[in-house]
Structure 1
Amino acid sequence: MLDRTEDISIAAESWLAEFERALEHPDSHTLRPLFHPDSFWRDVLALSWNLQTLNGADAILNELPVLAGRTAPSGFKIDVERAPPRRVKRAGTDTIEAIFKFETIQGRGHGIIRLIPDTHDGHTLKAWTLFTALEELKGFEETIGSARPRGQSYSRDFRGPNWLDQREASAAYADRDPTVLVVGGGQAGLSIAARCKQLSIDTLIVDRGSRVGDNWRKRYHALTLHNQVQVNHLPYMPFPPNLPTYIPKDKLANWFESYVDAMELNFWTSTSFERGSYDAANQRWTVVLHCRDGSERIMHPRHVVMATGVSGIANRPDIPTLKHFAGTVLHSSGYHDGEAWKDKNAIVIGTGNSGHDIAQDLYSSGARVTLVQRSSTLITNIEPSAQLAYATYNEGTLEDNDLIAASMPLRLAKKTHQMITEQSKQFDKELLDGLTQVGFKLDYGEDDTGWQFKYLTRGGGYYFNVGCSDLVARQEIALRQFSDIETFVPGGARMKNGEVLEASLIVLATGYKPQEALVRQLFGEEIAARVGPIWGFGDEQELRNMYTRTGQDGLWFIAGSLAQCRINSKFLSLQIKAIEEGLLRRTQA
């Protein structure tokens, strides 16, 4: 085993060498000395063909020999083209971190090993976290770099179809069906379609918007991204260096349009996915699309990827007396800007990001605004607090940082975000105290894990403060609790104390229904039951039914931030390619 050493490169290389030797005849006896008792292993497709996390040396040693026996991992080496081994602090623990590469029977992968001393074994350096991820399939590498398509040669048929002719014919699908149909053309849909394109998988995106990017372009006027540009690149095509730190919605929408053109993605606008059914005998779908010209098109893809976001259907809560209100009622998804409401009274129900942003937009347009809180909400200033979660992306390469982000097991990720939340509370103390004084109900997420885990478990319940919280604390935007409303009346809302909040507009910033509702609507109860819950964490410590095979053959889900979609689209596309090439079963059953 390893002795203590100050040479971190030698320490990492030695561990990998001993790990590879142990895997030649893998069993708990040969592997146990390498793993800290409180260790973690996250594998993404490389050995397990799943996204899975194991906690503790005993769990790892039960599973690793079996999976290694099937996949024959070998060639574990420090990747000299990535960040060199280094000392870092992760989840509050000092550790040696090293990026390595390896191979299996079917593919090539990258991983991260983190070593800490075992105080019960002479401070011997052992694996604290091990991450293994499939990078590419042997024989089915992406068509990029040196493998790029050659296109037309110097010897050309001047009477034959040129590049534009070929692109138009490819996108028309007049004589074929796509292998993969992607429903939704936001960052999730573009990311998975681009990945599939580079794996030579015929893929079509359909989206209801009349232009590529309308899912951002048609949101409310003042919207910008809440995290910084360096985190948000799409696969293969990073943003140009002159983009602003926080990307405005219209600029992002226009970039999506450029991305589709540059990456040569097949994309049908003004096309809605109406319904789908699965033919198990032929392993294909029958889907009905409503097209731009009003016609219906029936297609038979082998895979359907739902890329409609964390939530697809607006949630309009049942408020029985709201029907008495004589003014305008909008869900936040239908709100665009506040110019029409200047000098008028508006009520915004909901205190997440959309509720606050809409309230601030109305206030900036000259409306008199009351923000109504339904439940406690996490508030964090957009700088520096909301950016702490992305600190690693401020240095190093995007590829290394994506690997680091994917490598953290759930329990340690939660610990990290508890630390970030505590730090944020100190940074934001003045603001939070001011909100408390005006009666705003605060929380910091389950077990104080902060906004990131609110997003990962429920898709909302927080606000990145870009000024609205300051307006609330100064009482320039009024605050009321929904529980204090007795009834809605033609002129607004009557409170339990008899006060009437006058309003011409009520905005329901009440979020969206879970994706299960959309699956039920499009595919029926049986398929929805077969898939089960989507998003949030299950027993396997992974997001449920996201980026992986589901209980329904040929039905996939991808959603999340631009970073999540960039990272996980690779893994989803590799699974689809492996299925198409006969390397992987279509379901996890």
Structure 2
Amino acid sequence: MPRLTARVPVTSLHGNIPLTLPFKGEESVEANAVAVQVLAQLDACLVRGDWQSDDFQNLWVDGEDAWFKDHLALTGSVRTIRRSSSIKKAFQTLVPARRAANFGPDAAFQVGGPARFERLNPAVAWIDAPFVFDTRDPAAKCGGYLKLIRTQSGEEEAKWKIWVWFSALLELKCSPWGHPARSSPLPGVQQGNAASRGLPPSTVGGESAPLDLLVVGAGTAGLSALTCARALGLIAIAVDKDAQVGHLWKSRYKALHLHTTKAFNALPFAPFPARYPDFVSAEQFGTYLQNDVVSALKLPVYSGILYDNGKWDDARKFWVISLVDVDTGERGQLCAKNIVMANGPLLPEPRIPTVAAREQFRGETVHSSEFTDAKPWAGKRCLVVGTGASGHDISSALHHAGASSVHLVQRGPNFIFPIAAQEAIIGQIYNEKIPIEMSDLMWSAMPLGVTRTITAAVLGAGTQQIAPTLFQDLEAKGFRVEREKDFTHFAHERHGGHYQGHDFDLLTSGKVKVHSAPAGISHFDSDALVFQDGTSLQADLVVWATGFTRKGSVPEWLVEKGLIDAEAAKDVEAIGHGVDEEGEWPGRWTGSGHPALWFTGAEIQAARYGGKLIALQIAMEKNSELPTAYPRADVAAYTNGVNGSH
């Protein structure tokens, strides 16, 4: 039975931000001087290790609002710990265990340079203070950010205290970062070919040592993990059943574009060349993966190779893996010390409604994931069921291709915002001036509950400033706008139901019409879709832009597909079922439950950063420097997606 760390709704996460009202002298705050002073006091406390005095506790804001977030540097995992008392307990254990020292300002611009004062709105402000430190177990350079809040009680002098601590492992001394375009020490490996053919050379028997890792899947998640592993000097290859890297992106509908800029979506060590537009199309992104990632970085990717199964050899501590050449049916074997699953275990299956009398419908139906081209539907009547990102994009493509009518069918309200409001957040962190590795650290620094609070405030204010009548204009055309729930709910719990657009003119002008169907669909007629309220819409094409659904748990999925043996899967975390009480995703990137099985996936930015975390852990393990993760006591049994017992 797979395990399940207890999960909670994103909306239940603590997201309070201590108030910092405008104060006298705010314009002249010497943020760097404040940061240097706090870091000096912190370093003295940590080196002295006097946990019984109040010196350490007095550096933090009181009680519930203090945060310690860490990515591998101290906890050996991905953790977010709240409350000053819990933070003190963690530091008391972890600082001596990691032999952490030399806490100081980021003078060498490794994570962000000088400290700066930031005001979010009239009630919220903080000092953002980049810092660095060393650990000796493992031997590493680490860094991060302190978020300092100004506190004052009565007539006492105001003090700056730590509100959020974020730290991350930056570089291992045993395995420093290099360039991934290095030669493979494995004889016969082909590199840099996005459409390579043939099985990789066997590492079973003979004098060949097992791979350090095999990456299963060569999409954005798999390529990110492979790139980072090779940059750390690990022996790694990737296999993918598709005939060519980027095939999935190039096979999507022509109008599909990324809804975030290329600065947000580049892969490790592979910035987008200037010839790409800010908002890259799916086809362009597929070309980027082929030419500017696999080829440019000389990555050893084997396309057209199916990962058939893996069996864990507990005595020899490696996987025995069976592969199949999709074209020829030829079989081969590999041995690898680690498997990184980047082949979709985190991705759910298409959700297609079961609608009565489908066989009577003379038109065509297709799920959005299979929709490729709008041009054949010129002059036809088209319905798009679902009003998330795919629904909006496909309805726009159908209109511009000359469909005689396009209706967007909406069941429930959607969270809507202009892309310009989103870029007010993302663009400050991800841009051509900041290295993407530094941007990823900045993006990761805040606890999820706090991020939710900030995002709601910034998106709301940005939408009001950029498009003050957008919601009213949409509602006037029958489109229902979600005004209560926030973006984090849709992104992390529903995994859809929101849409960020460059403009909404097709809806507000009535060129794409909205059909509200809160009660749902009843049945098909020969040339129409009939709704529960008795209304109907004639159609030649129905596109199900209805999202995806996940069946069962990831461990069960792996065993059912025959990808790993049941014994290896029995303790694997039931990943993909939401966040834990810390706002983290258990089992993704760290602590899967099997010491040599790793999972990665999700949106491009998260997959990029997650690949780095996985590679660092495998490099530490190879060099016998992987620390024991800071323990937690809330792991429960998993039964059918809920907490239960074996």
Q: TM-score, normalised by structure 1?
A: 0.88
CA contact (8 A) 2:318 2:338 kept: yes
Kindly tell me: are residues 78 and 496 of structure 1, through their superposed partners in 2, closer, same or farther at Cα, counting changes over 3 Å?
closer
Q: CA separation in 2, counterparts of 1:348 and 1:41?
A: 45
> Which of 20, 43, 46 is 1:20 aligned to?
43
Alpha-carbon distance, 1:142 to partner: 1.9
1:563 aligns with 2:617: no
Q: CA separation in 2, counterparts of 1:409 and 1:315?
A: 31
1:355 aligns with 2:388: no
1:583 aligns with 2:617: no
1:189 aligns with 2:222: yes
Aligned residue in 1 for 2:57: 32
Q: Using CA pairs under 8 Å that are at least 6 residues apart, name the structure with larger relative contact order, 1 or 2.
A: 2
Q: Which moved more, 1:297-306 or 1:541-550?
A: 297-306
Alpha-carbon distance, 1:268 to partner: 1.5
1:51 aligns with 2:51: no
> Gapped runs of 5+ residues in structure 2?
1-24, 561-565, 632-646
Q: CA separation in 2, counterparts of 1:382 and 1:198?
A: 34
Alpha-carbon distance, 1:580 to partner: 2.5
Mapping of residues 207-356 of structure 1, within 5 Å = 207-258=240-291, 259-292=293-326, 293-308=328-343, 310-356=346-392
Aligned residue in 2 for 1:470: 505
Mapping of residues 79-228 of structure 1, within 5 Å = 79-82=106-109, 83-89=113-119, 93-105=124-136, 106=138, 107-120=140-153, 122-144=157-179, 172-175=200-203, 178-228=211-261
Q: CA separation in 2, counterparts of 1:87 and 1:96?
A: 4
Alpha-carbon distance, 1:88 to partner: 1.6
CA deviation map 1:455-495 (0-9, x unaligned): 2333221112244x432233222222342533112222123
Kindly tell me: are residues 288 and 350 of structure 1, through their superposed partners in 2, closer, same or farther at Cα, counting changes over 3 Å?
farther
Alpha-carbon distance, 1:22 to partner: 0.8
Aligned residue in 1 for 2:563: none
CA contact (8 A) 2:356 2:522 kept: no
CA contact (8 A) 1:78 1:98 kept: yes
> Gapped runs of 5+ residues in structure 1?
153-160
Equivalent residue letter for 1:141: P
Kindly tell me: are residues 278 and 370 of structure 1, through their superposed partners in 2, closer, same or farther at Cα, counting changes over 3 Å?
farther
**SS across alignment from 1:560:** coil
Q: Which moved more, 1:301-310 or 1:264-273?
A: 301-310
Q: CA separation in 2, counterparts of 1:53 and 1:535?
A: 18
Q: CA separation in 1, counterparts of 2:157 and 2:572?
A: 50
Aligned residue in 1 for 2:461: 423
Equivalent residue letter for 1:297: G
Q: TM-score, normalised by structure 2?
A: 0.81
Equivalent residue letter for 2:452: K
Equivalent residue letter for 2:162: A
Alpha-carbon distance, 1:425 to partner: 3.9
Equivalent residue letter for 2:499: Y
Q: Which moved more, 1:569-578 or 1:266-275?
A: 266-275
Aligned residue in 2 for 1:479: 514
**SS across alignment from 2:591:** coil
> Which of 378, 393, 404 is 2:430 aligned to?
393
Q: CA separation in 2, counterparts of 1:499 and 1:6?
A: 63
Alpha-carbon distance, 1:346 to partner: 1.7
Q: Which moved more, 1:499-508 or 1:36-45?
A: 499-508
**SS across alignment from 1:188:** helix
Q: CA separation in 2, counterparts of 1:578 and 1:334?
A: 41
Q: CA separation in 2, counterparts of 1:59 and 1:165?
A: 48
Aligned residue in 2 for 1:492: 528
Alpha-carbon distance, 1:528 to partner: 7.4
**SS across alignment from 1:211:** coil
1:383 aligns with 2:420: yes
CA contact (8 A) 1:445 1:453 kept: no
Q: CA separation in 1, counterparts of 2:534 and 2:169?
A: 63
> Which of 403, 406, 409 is 2:441 aligned to?
403
Q: CA separation in 2, counterparts of 1:420 and 1:437?
A: 25
CA deviation map 1:540-568 (0-9, x unaligned): 22123222121233222222333222323
Kindly tell me: are residues 192 and 328 of structure 1, through their superposed partners in 2, closer, same or farther at Cα, counting changes over 3 Å?
same
Q: CA separation in 2, counterparts of 1:173 and 1:275?
A: 17
Alpha-carbon distance, 1:334 to partner: 0.9
Percent of pairs with identical residues? 26
Equivalent residue letter for 1:267: V
1:372 aligns with 2:409: yes
Alpha-carbon distance, 1:217 to partner: 1.1
Q: Which moved more, 1:69-78 or 1:542-551?
A: 542-551
Q: Which moved more, 1:42-51 or 1:172-181?
A: 172-181
**SS across alignment from 1:530:** coil
Aligned residue in 1 for 2:16: none
Alpha-carbon distance, 1:338 to partner: 1.1
1:514 aligns with 2:544: no
CA contact (8 A) 1:530 1:551 kept: yes
Q: Which moved more, 1:413-422 or 1:323-332?
A: 323-332
Q: Which moved more, 1:454-463 or 1:244-253?
A: 454-463
1:437 aligns with 2:476: yes
Aligned residue in 2 for 1:460: 496
Q: Which moved more, 1:510-519 or 1:43-52?
A: 510-519
Kindly tell me: are residues 442 and 281 of structure 1, through their superposed partners in 2, closer, same or farther at Cα, counting changes over 3 Å?
farther
CA deviation map 1:360-413 (0-9, x unaligned): 111111222221123321122222445534433347412433221111122221
Q: CA separation in 2, counterparts of 1:375 and 1:497?
A: 15
Q: CA separation in 2, counterparts of 1:388 and 1:363?
A: 31
Q: CA separation in 2, counterparts of 1:278 and 1:456?
A: 33
Kindly tell me: are residues 164 and 273 of structure 1, through their superposed partners in 2, closer, same or farther at Cα, counting changes over 3 Å?
closer
Q: Which moved more, 1:224-233 or 1:46-55?
A: 224-233
Q: Which moved more, 1:65-74 or 1:170-179?
A: 170-179
Q: CA separation in 1, counterparts of 2:550 and 2:522?
A: 29
**SS across alignment from 1:134:** strand
**SS across alignment from 1:544:** coil
Alpha-carbon distance, 1:208 to partner: 2.8
1:8 aligns with 2:35: no
